[in-house]
Amino acid sequence: MVVYDFTVRETTALERNWPYVTSSMVEAINTCPKWGIIHNVQHKRFVTGFRQMALEAGSLMHEVFSIYNLWQLAVTQKCLGHADVKGKELFGNIRWQIIDFTTIVTMDKPDEVILNKLAYNIIGTSDFYDDPNDKNRTLSNLEHVAIELGSYFLMNHTKFEIYVKDVDNPNSEVGIEQSLDVIFDIELTSGAKVSIRFIGLADVVYQNSKTRKITLGEYKTTASMNDAWREAFRTRHQISAYNGALEAYYTELSYNTILTGSTIPVRKTTTPTQHFNVDRDRENVKDFLSTALFSLGLIKDYPESTAIYAPMFTHSCNRYFRPCSLLDLCSSEKGDQIVMWEQMEIDAEMSPSELKALLRQGA
């Protein structure tokens, strides 16, 4: 299927019962269809005592990035009321009270001290705790990463103005952790038309005060911020999909993304924080949609227990130099695989971005 063109719109209330795709779902299925369908679509897991430390640490650092953006909204852009309303939405009333945001941002202290205090409060009020099996993603290391990010934020990010729909109304929309739930209406070169639902979560939405154009901002964590890591974002579908989805909400888009990254832990051999631009256009969105349609076809072809017969891409069995979590399943006899699939548990927890994107709109 070749995508000729597309339009995008917000998902209606009636369409919120449609199945959806996410960028991580599409990436997983195309990494290995068998693993992607069982792990990311069916959410089935073997019972283990291991935590997903990279996911937990990344999620917590996203919260730190959000509190810095809220500080910018309150102090640099002088929208304290907007920041207070958004903060309660992001963190809940009780946690927001403990963070004590309004008191801290109005203190007569240097900005760097205030950001450090906010970061400590975010980390301290989280449910993250150290794992003896992981010496890199520790509370002390995350605090160090947050301090480095805060210093970098003050020097670089305050010049990027965060979108505010109505500066006179604190309850109006602001561009911090914006839920994306859209319908892509796609026209194929064959003349056929198809629609897919896509959800995601934009970390920050900027607006140029002169041109009024909207720019996506994304935050990522990594173990090593080398050239290979940066280069991967030149084609990564998540960036394309998010830029396309923003068309449903804004008319003037730059189709440019400001991507900020932090290394966990802070290392002496590489920069701890950096940001760079990632350009996109509508052709890139079409590439994503073609891949999403291919992924949806695989999902449809291998429902329920037939997922064990989905293509197995063995080059990914040791991706990131770790054995895949389904290696025992895939190396067993087919009859045993069916039994193992039936005994796997369904993990009701979504990815952090997926969960936030759905819960904040009442889906």
Give the domain ranges of the chain: 3-34+49-292+354-359
Cβ–Cβ < 8 Å for 280, 239? yes
- The pLDDT tens digits of the residues spanning 325-356 come to 899 999 999 999 999 999 999 876 666 667 66
Q: In the predicted model, what is the mean pLDDT of residues 226-240?
A: 94
- d(C-alpha 304, C-alpha 107), whole Å: 56
Q: What is the pLDDT of residue 348?
A: 64
Q: What is the pLDDT of residue 357?
A: 66
Q: In the predicted model, what is the mean pLDDT of residues 43-50?
A: 80
Neighbouring-strand partners of residue 30:
none
Number of Cβ within a 10 Å radius of residue 224: 11
Q: What is the pLDDT of residue 268?
A: 84
- d(C-alpha 37, C-alpha 43), whole Å: 8
Q: What is the pLDDT of residue 270?
A: 84
- More confident call, 241 vs 269: 241
Q: What is the pLDDT of residue 51?
A: 80
Kindly report the backbone phi and psi dihedral angles of residue 9, in degrees, each rounded to the nearest multiple of 5, phi listed first: -145, 165
Among 24-28, 221-225, 296-300, 318-322, the range scoring the smallest mean pLDDT is 318-322
- The pLDDT tens digits of the residues spanning 120-161 come to 999 999 999 999 989 999 999 999 999 999 999 999 998 899
pLDDT band (50, 70, 90) for residue 58: very high
Q: What is the pLDDT of residue 363?
A: 46
146 Cβ contact list (under 8 Å, min separation 6): 61, 64, 116, 119, 120, 122, 123
pLDDT band (50, 70, 90) for residue 277: very high
Q: In the predicted model, what is the mean pLDDT of residues 27-32?
A: 95
- More confident call, 357 vs 13: 13
Q: In the predicted model, what is the mean pLDDT of residues 245-256?
A: 96
Rg of the Cα atoms in the chain: 21
Global model pTM greater than 0.85: yes
% of the chain at pLDDT higher than 70: 95
CA nearest 174: which of 207, 209, 220?
Answer: 207
- Does position 360 have pLDDT exceeding 70, yes or no? no
Joined together, the tokens standing for residue 107 give: 């203190």
Neighbouring-strand partners of residue 193:
187
- Does position 49 have pLDDT exceeding 70, yes or no? no
CA nearest 256: which of 192, 208, 193?
Answer: 208
Cβ–Cβ < 8 Å for 199, 180? yes
Q: What is the pLDDT of residue 352?
A: 62
Joined together, the tokens standing for residue 200 give: 């995601």
Can you tell me whether residue 232 is helix, strand or coil?
Answer: helix
- Does position 47 have pLDDT exceeding 50, yes or no? yes
- Does position 359 have pLDDT exceeding 80, yes or no? no
Mean pLDDT of the chain, nearest integer: 93
- Does position 280 have pLDDT exceeding 80, yes or no? yes
